[in-house]
Structure 1
Amino acid sequence: MAVSIHQFLCLKDNFGVLVHDPRTGATAAIDAPEAAPILAALAAKDWELSDILITHHHADHVQGIAGLKRTFPHARVVGPRKEAVAIGGLDIAVSEGDRVAIGALEGRVIEVPGHTSGHVAYWFEEEEIAFSGDTLFAMGCGRGFEEPAAVLYRSLMKLAALPPQTKIYCGHEYTMANARFALTIDPDNATLKKRAQEVADLRAADAFTLPTTIAIELETNPFLRAGDPEVQAAIGMRGADPAAVFAALRERKNRA
């Protein structure tokens, strides 16, 4: 099914993302970091906002909801049931396996706790796209603010199991910093080195580095490769439990 996706920056490095169904005219914002840039993008595209799909409760993902609702009062706010109180004003609260719709586009909710306890991702299987919020980034992952590292690792493995061609849209433009860290762990990975150069070229041209794909991440993202002997050896943990390796990698990134 045809779908149009428009990306733009909000705040400092948050992505604004609009998902448009040309058949019905429905348009969803993925998270609401800041109302003004989202409204400007809608006006530029001549799209009407029908839905706001929230991934988690952090302010830089929800603070634009009120401003969007003032202009589009009938837009439905969809978000994680487990964070409904923290977000406030949800019209539809969703959990693992629930279906969401943007016009004729149908997605599925995947619970991915770790960064926050109720974080969700949205997967549109037919369109081969997923919106991972602050759980999975290109060559990186979010910090585990509200759950132990093992919980975040299990969430990442859920996303890693999506079809390899799935295009991933993340919540932030962190790709260059993530590439630099990944190279400290896996400096001999030819695919990673090529990807890092591509990212550097894109950023030099002031172009976005997303979407990525599950296939690319499985080859270049050290947080998805915690079971790889080369990654384990790089941090002196050969043969260790992948969840423990992941925790050590995340701690290193926290200090980077």
Structure 2
Amino acid sequence: MVQVEPIKAFTDNYIWAIRDTENNHVWVVDPGQADPVNTYLAQKQATLKGVLVTHHHWDHTNGIQELLKSSPSIAVYGPTNSPFNGITHPLKEGDELDVLSIKLRVIETPGHTLDHICYLSNTLCFTGDTIFSAGCGRLMEGSSEQMWLTLCKFNDVPDDALMYCTHEYTLANLAFASAVEPNNSDIQNYKKWAEQQVSKCTPTLPSTFAKERAVNPFLRATLTQAKANIPHHLSDDLSEPWKVFAALRAWKDSF
């Protein structure tokens, strides 16, 4: 049996551990810190077998070198065009890999960074900093149109697929989503639930793509209601979905 479990890092990161509970083999996704991973491995009496990287930012990669000291032969998978030089198995759009019997395919998801990739199966997706629950990553390197085209790549992901992102940003994102769609009852109900989770120091993740399609303003830019409350100074041209997305992202940046 394979489980996906959160390892907390920094103040709001999750390093996702993919664990085969029978053999106690583990792969980790975006290990920005080594110590929490090593603590987890010791507690589970598990062996690290591989690393998945979504993009080059330090809070996703800084733990890898330290992890390799005790596991020098493990594979580090990541984007082929990444500035991070610790990748041993470079990946591009359409590549597939088997992680503890989970078959993952790779999609290139530029926007937050130009090297960003995500890992998808029919039942789950590791989205890094591309899609957060009720949000999306800042445009650190890519353009608004580029990011919108990236988000469209998730349109065919099944509703019940689990979405594992790297940050616990859900409550902050829901505050913004509430401003975009104040009459959206799905957002308000999700906000109440997320507040309860956070008060118990319990992750709000994973989410599902059904949930995100109901509450995430950046996935809802094709809908009329997504435009209604965009501030006037950002709403000069909302003629195309990517322009609505651009206005929403600019609004969120200063929210």
TM-score tier (shorter): over 0.9
Paired residues for 1:43-192 under 5 Å: 43-83=42-82, 86-125=83-122, 128-192=123-187
Q: CA deviation at 1:8?
A: 2.3
Paired with 1:249 and 1:239, the residues of 2 have a C-alpha distance of 10
After TM superposition, give the deviation of residue 239 of structure 1 in Å.
6.2
**What percent identity do the matched residue pairs reach?**
34
Moved over 4 A (4+): 236-239
* Contact in 2 for aligned 1:160/1:218 (Cα 8 Å): no
Q: Aligned AA for 2:157?
A: L
Q: Distance in 2 between matches of 1:197 and 1:9?
A: 23
Aligned residue identity for 2:62: Q
CA contact (8 A) 1:23 1:104 kept: no
Counterpart CA distance in 1 for 2:173 and 2:238 is: 25
**Normalised by the size of structure 2, how large is the TM-score?**
0.95
Please give the root-mean-square deviation of Cα atoms over the aligned residues, in Å: 1.4
Mapped contact 1:232–1:240 kept (Cα < 8 A): no
Residue matched to 1:199: 194
State the TM-score, normalizing by the size of structure 1: 0.94
Q: What residue in structure 2 maps to residue 32 of structure 1?
A: 31
The Cα shift of 1:133 comes to 0.1
Q: Which amino acid aligns with 1:62?
A: T
Q: Which amino acid aligns with 2:15?
A: G
Does the 8 Å contact 2:238/2:244 carry over to 1?
no
Alignment counterpart, residue 215 of structure 2, candidates 220, 224, 227: 220
Deviation at 1:24, TM superposition (A): 5.2
Deviation at 1:209, TM superposition (A): 0.3
Runs of 5+ in structure 1 lacking a partner? none
Does structure 2 retain, via aligned residues, the 8 Å contact 1:160–1:214?
Answer: no
